Amino acid sequence: MSKPLKIIALIIAWTWIAVPLGWGVYQSVQKSLPLFQRQAGPVSPVR
């Protein structure tokens, strides 16, 4: 296999892994955002 074909195959392989991984990370961040957002209203102190 020539060098340009190896580079193209490597790019395709990394894209094949990076796109679903990136989507999963994005979904995880979106679903976890409510855990870190401050809720409005009075908060009673914990004793």
CB atoms within 10 A of CB 11: 10
What predicted TM-score, i.e. pTM, was given to this entire model? Answer: 0.63
Q: Each residue of 26-45: pLDDT tens digit?
A: 999 999 998 888 776 666 77
**Mean of the per-residue pLDDT values of the chain:** 89
Write the CB contacts of 1 (distance below 8 Å, at least 6 apart in sequence): 9
Would you list the DSSP string of 8-44? HHHHHHHHHHHHHHHHHHHHHHHHHHHHHSPPPS--P
Query: So what's the pLDDT on residue 20?
Result: 97
Q: Quick one: what percent of the chain has pLDDT higher than 70?
A: 91
